[in-house]
Amino acid sequence: MRHADACLQVTGLEVQRGDRWLFTDLDLAIESGELLHVRGPNGCGKTTLLRALCGLLLPQAGEILWNGESIRRLGEEFTRDVIYLGHLNGIKHELTGIENLRVSATLDGDRVDDDAIWDALEQIGLAGFEDLPTMVLSQGQKKRVALARLLLTGAKLWVLDEPFVALDVKAVARLESLIVGQVERGGIVILTTHQEVALTSGTIRTLDLGQAGQVRGR
């Protein structure tokens, strides 16, 4: 199933954290079938940028447009199209993997049944751990529960903040293939990572935040 064409545009974005301007006048445009790799040293504002792009953070100035319309005005129309995985896994430790995914699928408005959820957990490598409270799982396994959402969602825009952290080799490969799949389907992926992702189709673009926010194509 291919995603309808979409584009995310950023013009003149300015974000200040505390007394520090993280970036000023940042321009950016990214379309279906593209992956944006945000790079830069620690503390340069990668996470902040990602949070601003998915609408969690209100920028001081500038516009973020989704298909030409401001994401603030779109509100829930925009959040329907986005999935964000941050440093926090966003799963409840008292609930099992199944229960966690059931809740997030209902809230995300994804119509998936329990079979699909079991299937997703198995695919991500959590077979046998599906109905244990997630508090007994390891860091990497908790991360996988969060990543399983990528298998269930129909979101066009994936915003992933350091998704490879705490994963083992097998899980990294699995996640890579998920990202490639999303780009091939015509989705958009924005991520920060220290890992290079090999794409079979589509374009990888890099944004180096260290230097005055320019986007280079490759």
Partner 1 sequence: MKFHWLHFSSPATFYGLAGRMIPWFFALALVTGVVALYWGFFQTPDQLGGSNPQKEYYRIIFVHVGSAWMSMWLYLVLAAWSAFGLVFNTRLSYMMAVSVAPTGALFTALALFTGSFWGKPSWGTWWDWDPRLTSELILFFLYIGYIALHSAIDDARRADRASALIAIVGLVCVPIIFWSINCPDPNQCAALHQRSSMGSIDGNILFAMLALTFSFWMYAFATSFMRVRSIILEREAGTTWVNEQLELEAKR
Partner 2 sequence: MFSTFLCILRRDITLAMRRRTDILTTLFFFVIVASLFPLGVGSEKEVLRFLGPGVVWVAALLASMLALERLFASDFADGTLEQMLLTPQPLSVLVLGKICAHWLLTGLPLVLIAPLIGLQYGLEGTQLLVMVMALLVGTPVLSLVGSIGAALTLGLRGGGILLSLLVLPLYIPVLVYGSGAVTVSAIDLADVQPFMALLGAFLILALAFSPLATAAALRISVE
Q: Which residues bind partner 2 (CB under 8 A)?
A: 51, 54-58, 76-77, 79-80, 82-84, 86-95, 99, 103-104, 106-109, 133
To partner 1, the closest distance from the beta carbon of 59 in angstroms equals 10
Query: Residue 134 — φ and ψ, nearest 5°?
Result: -65, -15
Q: How far is the CB of 104 from partner 2 (least distance, A)?
A: 7
Contact region for partner 1 (CB under 8 A) — 13-21, 110-118, 142-150, 168-176?
A: 13-21
Q: How far is the CB of 75 from partner 2 (least distance, A)?
A: 9
- Structure-token pair, residue 123: 């695919």
Q: Which is nearer to partner 1, 51 or 149 (CB)?
A: 51
Residue with smaller CB distance to partner 2, 99 or 119: 99
In whole angstroms, how close is the CB of 55 to partner 2 at the nearest point?
7
State yes or no: residue 2 binds partner 1 (CB under 8 A).
no
Task: Tell me whether strands 157-161 and 82-85 are parallel, antiparallel or unpaired.
Answer: parallel
Q: Are 77 and 37 in contact (CB under 8 A)?
A: no
Residue 99 interacts with, from partner 2, partner 1, none (CB under 5-8 Å by kind) = partner 2
Complex with partner 2: residue 12 or 109, whichever CB lies closer:
109
Q: Is 11 in the site for partner 1 (CB under 8 A)?
A: no
Told to check if 24 binds partner 1 by CB under 8 A, we report no
DSSP string, the chain: -PPPP-EEEEEEEEEEETTEEEEEEEEEEEETTEEEEEE-STTSSHHHHHHHHTTSS--SEEEEEETTEEHHHHTHHHHTTEEEE-SS----TTSBHHHHHHHHHHHHT----HHHHHHHHHHTT-TT-TTSBGGGS-HHHHHHHHHTHHHH---SEEEEESTTTT--HHHHHHHHHHHHHHHHTT-EEEEE-SS----SSSEEEEEESSSTTEEE--
Nearer to partner 2, 7 or 95 (CB): 95
From the CB of 10, what's the least distance to partner 1, in Å?
A: 17
# binding residues, partner 1 (CB under 8 A) = 6
Assigned token pair, 78: 């925009």
From the CB of 177, what's the least distance to partner 1, in Å? 39
Residues that bind partner 1 (CB under 8 A): 16-19, 58, 60
